[in-house]
Structure 1
Amino acid sequence: MPRPRAAAEFAPGSPGEPLVDTHGRVHRDLRVSLTDRCSLRCTYCMPEQGNEWLAKSSILTLDEIVRIARVAAADGVTTFRLTGGEPLLRSDIVEVVRRLAVIQGPDGRPVELAMTTNGIRLPELLPSLVDAGLARLNISLDTLRRDRFRDLTRRDRLDDVLAGIAAASASGLRPLKLNAVAMRDVNEDELIDLVQFALDHNAELRFIEQMPLDAGHTWDRSRMVTREEILDELSTRWHLTPVPGRGGAPAERWRLDGGPQTVGVIASVTAPFCGDCDRLRLTADGQLRNCLFSTTEYDLLPSLRQPEGSAGDAEIDAAIDGMLRSCVHGKLPGHAINDPGFLQPARGMNAIGG
């Protein structure tokens, strides 16, 4: 497991100041994992059987999540993205959204609340989520073929995912994004079909290069469909024009036939965007991570769960702030996937958070 950092290793800084690392990157995005559990078993994420789930006692409570989020917002974080596992499996998900959506930054502006989901429970929950303050959605969809979906996810739930996408398309949440991991000999012949499906649902398709984040550590670079291969295939159907002004966003975007429709590619392996990364991650069990591929975690649980009466609210908040700054201070220039000495994280993607 990653080595947890203790509170004594806090980096210098004052509450309310921006979260700036030693490479000048200002951090404004916090990915909040709500659970490591999922209703699917995607082959590139977790095994079908034998998963070791996080202990229920270690999962952050709603009050703990809100406390961390308030401190982060005071330090300049403007976007929270709820992830998992599958975030819609959390029983208090609507209340999580409701309480996070009202948090404001130092300028009095509310934070933006987004979610990444497999979409299965959206038809039932989306109206309540929108009412609670959810602003944006990303939905995972790697194939439109039932047999492939069943083989890839080990569950026959394609109809449920498509119903979730239809519900999202009919809602007012925009931009709506569909995420697809491009895999050789799995779905590389569906790239154009997936983009067209997204366009038909007033959504943007974002292709993701397959990354070494599976719990079984079976990632094979040769099975990854690269950014250039994706663009070459899409260029047989549309004229692609780069969209300028990417900033810290993970996806490069292109207009299709001059726009306004677009497609995105997240090329973490062949075209890393680490130099502009503004993201931190909070795992469901209270660990801060400064990179998706980090081998070090910063443990917030001791600060949050001190013996009753041993610390006041201000002291606890200061400890959270200090750990955020320590995490940011320890961030490396890049993830080093392409270096010979790269080590895959011990946690799988479901336990890290998307």
Structure 2
Amino acid sequence: MSHARLVDRYRRVHRDLRVSLTDRCSLRCTYCMPADGVPWLKSATLLSTDELVRLTRVAVDLGVREVRLTGGEPLLRPDVVDVVGELAAIETPDGPLDLSLTTNALRLPALAAPLRDAGLNRVNVSLDTLQRARFMELTRRDRLADTLAGIEAARAVGFSPVKLNALIMRGVNDDEIVDLVDFAVERGLQMRFIEHMPLDGGHTWRREEMVTAEEILAAVTERYTLEPLGHDGTAPAERFRIVGTEATVGVIASVTRKFCDRCDRVRLTADGQFRNCLFAHEESDLRTLLREGADDARLAEAMVACVARKLPGHGIDDPSFVQPSRPMSAIGG
């Protein structure tokens, strides 16, 4: 098994595993799910910590070197600190596993220090607006103060870098692009803007409502001079340094500047489904294999076969494109 690798037909080597800890979330963001939420996964279908760790170890044997914990909101998982501790203890041939987490930060004031001590390397925080009323409208919850407190907690315990992710939507928060950059620069954070993708639970995405990377960068350059830095390896963000500072701004342009040709990511959902693309319509059921007694070689075989079937791109621009049936909260970011 040690000689197998997660390589697809297009010679893309997959080293980044996104692991969803739960599909549940403490917010109801308009671009992710309807106001009344979506049906949650049944608890019996969710991977236990032992199952999650075992599958991660198999993936590491196949070449995975980076794990990002996602959701839903991963900090809602009651044993999230234990999960981090177990995963952080995994050694790869290249050293410790690179372990990060994406969060809405609501629980970070209480969990930032325990997560750091358990071995978490860094955090990404979702922050789409700095305005309380707009935050309430976007998330259907009055929790901006808690998100900001969580960001401060991450800074205080020494997570570095702390990245902020903002999904920019036309007529919703596109007037805050510079304000968000100012906020990040003043606090030594890294700002990342994301193009709106068709992954909402209500299937209401419209391309004409999407603010493009070109428009985002044009707004930033009204205030700042940017120096292109390109991509950091296979990371999705196209990065720019703000001239005169050490600060960087990134744009994840999954729609207009797609990076499928160098994608190295695979995903494990909270209910044990292995996905070779965020927009995939096919999954490999690792949970059933696990619970039917499959050994690690059989699990590895299923992962390798899934990656081998990966398509060359997500096809958003294709007229035949169909949005995945699962919303982002169930897939894992």
TM range (shorter): over 0.9
Deviation at 1:106, TM superposition (A): 3.0
Aligned to 1:77: 64
Structure 2 residues without counterparts, runs of 5 or longer: none
Unaligned stretches of 5+ residues in structure 1: 1-13
Distance 1:42 1:245, change over 3 A: closer
**Match 1:123 to one of 109, 117, 125:** 109
Aligned to 1:5: none
Alpha-carbon displacement from aligned partner over 1:201-229 (angstroms, at most 9, x marks no partner): 21111000000000100001111110000
Residue 6 of structure 2 contacts residue 63 of structure 2 at CA under 8 Å; is this kept in 1? yes
Q: 1:323 aligns with which of 302, 319, 333?
A: 302
2:259 paired with 1:280: no
Report if aligned partners of 1:62, 1:96 keep a CA contact under 8 Å in 2. yes
TM-score of the aligned structures, taking structure 1 as reference length: 0.92
2:44 matched residue in structure 1? 57
SS in structure 1 of the partner of residue 96 of structure 2: coil
Matching residue within 122, 132, 140 for 2:118: 132
- In structure 1, what is the Cα distance between the partners aligned to 2:314 and 2:220? 28
2:330 is matched with which residue?
351
Residue deviations 1:265-311 (CA, integer Å, cap 9, x gap)? 000000000011000000000001111111111100121101xxxx4
SS of the equivalent of 2:17 reads strand
**Does the 8 Å CA contact 1:241/1:258 hold for their aligned counterparts?**
no
Q: TM-score of the superposition, structure 2-length normalised? A: 0.98
2-structure distance, mates of 1:292, 1:65 = 19
Across the two proteins, how many residue pairs are aligned to each other? 333
**Counterpart amino acid of 1:33?**
S
Structure 1: distance between partners of 2:37 and 2:154: 33
Deviation at 1:258, TM superposition (A): 4.6
Give the equivalent residue in structure 2 for 1:23: 10
| CA positional deviation for 1:87 | 0.2
C-alpha displacement of 1:259? 3.8
User: What is residue 84 of structure 2 aligned with on the other side?
Assistant: 97
TM-superposition CA deviations, 1:57-81 (whole Å, max 9, x none): 0000000000001111111100010
Deviation (angstroms), 1:50: 4.9
- Equivalent-residue separation in structure 2 for 1:303 and 1:319 (angstroms): 8
* Partner residue, 1:289: 275
Give secondary structure in 2 for the equivalent of 1:254: strand
Q: Please identify runs of 4+ aligned residues in structure 1 that moved more than 2 A.
A: 14-18, 244-247
Which residue of the partner structure matches residue 98 of structure 2?
112
Q: Is the 8 A contact 1:206 1:264 kept in 2?
A: yes
* Counterpart contact for 2:231–2:238, Cα < 8 Å: no
Indicate the residue corresponding to 2:221 in structure 1.
235
Any idea what SS the aligned residue of 2:171 has? coil
2:231, 2:237 within 8 Å by CA — same for their partners in 1?
no
